[in-house]
Structure 1
Amino acid sequence: MERGLTGHYIDTIAGGVRCQAFIPEPLPPQPPLVLNGKLQGRINHAMLALGRLDAISTLLPEASLFLYSYVRKEAVMSSQIEGTQSSLSDLMLYEMKGLPGVPMDDVQEVSCYVNALMLGVQRIREGFPISHRLVMEVHTALMTSGRGIHRGPGQFRSNQVWLGGHRPDEAVFVPPPPQHLAECWSALERFINDIPEATDPLIKAALAHVQFETIHPFMDGNGRLGRLLIPLILVEAGILNEPLLYLSVFFKKHRQVYYERLQQVRVTGDWEAWLLFFVDAVADTASQAVTTARQLNRLREQDKTRLAELGRQAGSAGLVLDALFRLPIANINHLCQQTGLTPATVGKLLTAMEAKLGIVDEVTGQRRNRIYAYRAYIDILNQNPS
């Protein structure tokens, strides 16, 4: 449904050039959303997929093991949208004090994303609403190292920015001037917290994401934080117990359509077209996550069975495999801490698991401070839907 412009333009100056900035109207949309049969059916499909995703703990012996690595996959994909080159293996090597194969700033930014997401979830579980305070804390965590440390962590921007185009008067979009940010955020905060009326959580996540991207309140990190808001809203609403819905892969794959739908909302007011795209992203992503969980569970069972080929070492090798399932790139010291085995024993087990079974690979090529990767596990996580 086309409602027309969903805000108004005002004169502003960016980079010394006069241009028109867009200030969005508060949510919810007016006139209200039209949930016809097609859209409602796709919403229902997405909710069923979310239900299966939330039940993921029944598919894996320890859901936290899947969460650990899946959060990191999302961090990598979300940061790649912003231009970093870090991979999942780079991130895990960095966390293991190894040397990533990309610039340190890139991998630090990805690591900050992980910390920001987990901080947001922690605050919600402590009873904090999604408010100015929480968003500023999460943004500070997101920008606490790497290139972001000089880009105003935890502070609304104080200057006018524009998106797309080399000049602000030819930009694809110019977000609100800094003096309007507090007002715009306050209105969005009320909507997220169901003031004055409640909104279905899935629809709320969809609309709030667009509004946040339109407000563009920070100098940097807006895209990542806007994507973080989606699982945080669903966790706060109890739709998901764990923040396992990450749409970055879908948004990256369909990047052009994603940006077109955002701009379409602003210019024509067609929120329904955006919702169709968003709930398809949710259904596709949730279903893929469940498939990934099943593949990881199957891999664990298969490799546990293969350990029998190691004879008397099989029992201790099972402890090492369990530890690698928690962290699929690890050094001997970490594996000793996780298993209670001695360094000599762990070293022998890893040699056997590499040479005889091909379950792990040594990734440094060094004689000391060696790091091992559970390659099949990482390959499953790196799969993206075609």
Structure 2
Amino acid sequence: MITYGSVCSGIEAVSVAWDPLGFKPLWFSENDPFPCAVLDHHWPNVPNLGDMTTLTNRIMTGQIPAPDILVGGTPCQSFSIAGQRGSLSDERGNLTLELVRIFDAIDTIRQQNGKPPAILVWENVPGILSTKDNALGCFLGALAGESIPLEPPRGKWTNAGFVHGNKRKIAWRVLDAQFFGVPQRRRRIFVVASARKSAGFEQILFEPQSSSRDIKTRSGKELQIVRTVTTPPGLRGNASSDSYIVDINRFQTVSGKTVFPTLLASMATKQWLGNQEAFSGNYYIINGNAINKPVNSGGNGIGILNSTKMYTLTTSFTHAVQYQNQGVRRLTPLECERLQGFPDNHTLIPYRNKPAEKCPDTPRYKAIGNSMAVPVVRWIGQRIQHYLAS
């Protein structure tokens, strides 16, 4: 049985995604009151350890077990273009490096117990690719075992890549939930890392075609490994020559095409609005950050789409829809759950001494917007399962 520990657990998209795979959660780590209530409601037998900054010491002292997988999406606000972009100087952004310390502690205990190294799965916004302080390079360098940040080849991090460091192998890739069976445009970067020596680790995020040097997307296009750095000739600062970066070309999906297969048929496009067909040409999508705002305030252009895909759910804005000639209405929490691939009413729980039917909408919207897209996480879990079985 594959075990995992979850940090910044939220409403546990990971457990919803991985329970059908037979993965077992050993512990959660969440301290926001409403998500904590969701965890307690759905997983009452899994301990919620609260503040993630306490985990390293608790793992090293044997108070909590060291799982096979460490998974989580640390707070994204410090890396998001929509935020202040405080990056690693932001207390929330610095939790990214705290995650590395937790991961190191897990590997230390697992080695002492004669177990193979753990696997890390981390999710965040693509804004981390372009922070001024090179936050992604700091994160990758710490995971790889370098004493300094890694520097991106040609001065800019791309949407996908691979690092082989002194300590670990690391792969990252930007994935969009709309190509995994939910009608939401949600691009997120996923990082997978491990010190395991077995071959094929990069295949967790990338699909090989005919050789180890050809990486294939689901659209049939190939991602060529274009540069392998085995010495530090200015591309990587003073990082040790025992590490190397494999930089992979950017890839584009074809507008209007379904690039990835639908993983959850129950979450198909026509079902997310309930009994009505979703966006068959008679619907308009209205971006939440354009509602009640002046026309020059942004909102991704005019903030209105005639599309089959919803804008990215966030914690700040609740998007709206207009059906045919009817009035505009905001999305319901149920629709937001479906856009993320959750079971219906996953967040409709008893809360603050009130029954589920009186659960307030505001914390539900926030928790759903903070979460991961379930089918994307399930796809990664399936890839890990295949890797560990090979």
- TM-score (normalised: structure 1): 0.32
Name the structure where helix makes up a greater proportion of residues: 1
Structure with the bigger RCO (C-alpha within 8 Å, sep 6+) is 1
